[in-house]
Amino acid sequence: MHLVCVLALDNVIAFDLATAVEIFRRARFADGRPSYSVIVAGPKRTVRSGPLSLGVPHRMDALAKAHTIILPGRDDPTAPIDQGVLDSIRNAHARGARVASICVGAFDLAATGLLDGHSATTHWNAAAMLSARHPLVRVDPSVLFIDGGSILTSAGAAAGLDLCLHMIESDFGAAVAQDAARLAVMPIGRGGGQAQFIPHPLARERSLSLDPVLEWISARLADQLTLDAIANVAQLSVRTVTRRFRDQLGTTPMGWLTAQRVRLARSILETTDLPVDAVATATGLGSAANLRVHLARETGTSPSAYRRAFRSSVA
DNA sequence: CCTTCGTTCCGCCATG
DNA sequence: CACATGGCGGAACGAA
Q: What is the pLDDT of residues A279-298, one digit of tens each?
A: 999 999 989 999 999 998 88
Bases in strand C with any atom closer than 7 Å to a protein CB:
4-8, 14-16
Confidence of residue A255 (pLDDT cuts 50, 70, 90): very high
DSSP symbol at A62: G
A144 vs A284, higher pLDDT: A284
- Between CA A254 and C1' C5 the distance (Å) reads 21
What pLDDT does residue A212 have? 85
Confidence of residue A314 (pLDDT cuts 50, 70, 90): low
The mean pLDDT value of chain A amounts to 88
Amino acid type, A162: D
Confidence of residue A192 (pLDDT cuts 50, 70, 90): very low
- Between CA A235 and C1' B8 the distance (Å) reads 19
Looking at A46-55, A175-184, A202-211, A290-299, which range is the least confident one?
A: A202-211
Average of pLDDT values for A84-90? 96
- A237 beta carbon to strand B: under 7 Å: no
User: What is the total residue count of chain A?
Assistant: 315
Q: What are A2's strand-pairing partners?
A: A36
Interior CA angle at A62 toward A58 and A65, to 5°?
A: 150
Average of pLDDT values for A187-215? 57
The secondary structure element, H or E, covering residue A145 is strand A145-147
CB A245 within 8 A of CB A227: no
A275 vs A205, higher pLDDT: A275
pTM of the model: 0.77
- Between CA A148 and C1' B8 the distance (Å) reads 29
Confidence of residue A312 (pLDDT cuts 50, 70, 90): low
Contacts of A276 (CB under 8 A, 6+ apart): A269, A288, A291, A292, A303, A304
For A140-173, b/e burial (b = at least 16 CB within 10 A) is bbebbbbbbeebbbbbbbbbbbbbbbbbbbbbbb
Which tens digit of pLDDT belongs to each residue from A29-42? 988 899 999 999 99
What pLDDT does residue A204 have? 41
Dihedral sign for Cα A209, A211, A217, A219, please: negative
Confidence of residue A198 (pLDDT cuts 50, 70, 90): very low
Bases in strand B with any atom closer than 7 Å to a protein CB:
7-12
Give backbone dihedrals phi and psi of A248, rounded to 5 degrees, phi first: -90, -30
Confidence of residue A189 (pLDDT cuts 50, 70, 90): low
Confidence of residue A197 (pLDDT cuts 50, 70, 90): very low
What pLDDT does residue A284 have? 93
- Between CA A166 and C1' B2 the distance (Å) reads 36
> Which nucleotide minimizes the distance between its C1' and the CA of A287?
C15
Task: Kindly tell me the burial class for residue A138, based on how many C-beta atoms sit within 10 Å of its own C-beta (0-12, 13-18, 19 or more).
Answer: middle
